[in-house]
Amino acid sequence: MKIIVNGAGGRMGTVLCNLIEAAPDKEIAARVSAEFTTDAAKQLYQSLDEYTGDADCIIDFSNHTAVPALCAYAVRRQLPLVIATTGLTEAEMAAAADAAKTIPVFRSANMSLGVALVACLAKITAKAFPGADIEILEKHHNQKLDVPSGTALLLADAIKTVRPESTYNIGRHDYGKRTKEEIGIHSLRMGNEVGTHEIIFSMGSQTVTLRHEAESRALFAEGALSAAAFLIGKAPGTYSMDDIFE
Ligand SMILES: NC(=O)c1ccc[n+]([C@@H]2O[C@H](COP(=O)([O-])OP(=O)(O)OC[C@H]3O[C@@H](n4cnc5c(N)ncnc54)[C@H](O)[C@@H]3O)[C@@H](O)[C@H]2O)c1
């Protein structure tokens, strides 16, 4: 599998490139990152458009603003696309959905199998305790840009599928009681924390807490590689972790 890595110079891109280099059945087609100076001999490219060579897929860990151009490139080259970047605006999500009309696009705010499992358990718990107060707490390193994390929103969205009346209260700060419908979402930013997510269901008489801790960034890169392997040969459309589970 020949992979174009978009955002190759960043924290996740670096981990991903290291994993690809260590895998006998995978190779890097191009490392693309805004801070690179293009040097084809070293597979380095400052922008995607500069790379016209072979590839089987693209994995993106860059910045949400890169997504429209990334989608246009993937469509032009008819390459399966894994978008791991988070914090997409409505317009950027629409660009990804548009691309999925002609190529397979995999998108997940969290590439970890463990988080997919927590999302599944969150739905079961919310269904079992319809009156529970639900609070989500997320912790990340001090360089993270998007707040709240894409994963916190992914977990809240999973709960909303079984509790459609849910509203999100992000960073609660107002004076007044919480409502029954709201899901509180709270973000902590500190040190090198890779990523912890906790969903607390409080029933008054008992509390259920679901917690996922990422120990190293490798888990997201491994998940992105599984997503790419899954995506190659698939029909155009939007895919997510749920599809891998099935
Ligand atoms: N889905 C997941 O499981 C998961 C896990 C971790 C991080 N992320 C997301 O992945 C993204 C990257 O995270 P990071 O910690 O590596 O960030 P980072 O800031 O360390 O790296 C981002 C890299 O992208 C490059 N970049 C920015 N705009 C670009 C463009 N237009 N074209 C090419 N390269 C561009 C930057 O120069 C930088 O090297 C973030 O959105 C983050 O939230 C997702």
Q: Please give the angle made by the CA atoms of 126, 202 and 191, to the nearest 5 degrees.
A: 95
Is 6's C-beta closer than 6 angstroms to any atom of ligand 1? yes
Q: Please give the angle made by the CA atoms of 119, 16 and 58, to the nearest 5 degrees.
A: 85
What is the pLDDT at residue 164?
98
Q: What is the pLDDT of residues 107-133, one digit of tens each?
A: 998 899 899 999 999 999 999 999 999
Domain boundaries, the chain: 2-110+218-245, 113-213
Is 34's C-beta closer than 6 angstroms to any atom of ligand 1? yes
Distance CA 51, CA 68 (A): 17
d(CA 12, ligand 1 centre) in Å: 7
Correct CATH for 2-110+218-245 of 3.40.50.720, 3.30.300.130, 2.40.320.10, 3.30.565.10:
3.40.50.720
What is the pLDDT at residue 110?
87
Please name the residue whose Cα sits nearest to atom 25 of ligand 1: 7
Q: Which of 19, 36, 61, 153 to mutate to test the pocket of ligand 1 (most atoms within 8 A of CB)?
A: 61
What is the pLDDT at residue 113?
84
Is 115's C-beta closer than 6 angstroms to any atom of ligand 1? no
Confirm if 114 and 219 have CB atoms less than 8 A apart: yes
Long-range contacts, 40-49 (Cβ 8 Å, 24+): 44/8, 48/4, 48/6, 48/73, 49/73
Rg (CA), the chain: 19
Indicate the pTM of the whole model: 0.85
Q: Which helix (H) or strand (E) holds 212?
A: strand 207-213
Q: Which residues of the chain have pLDDT under 50?
A: none
Confirm if 197 and 118 have CB atoms less than 8 A apart: yes
What is the pLDDT at residue 189?
98
Active-site residue numbers? 140, 144
113-213 maps to CATH 3.30.360.10: yes
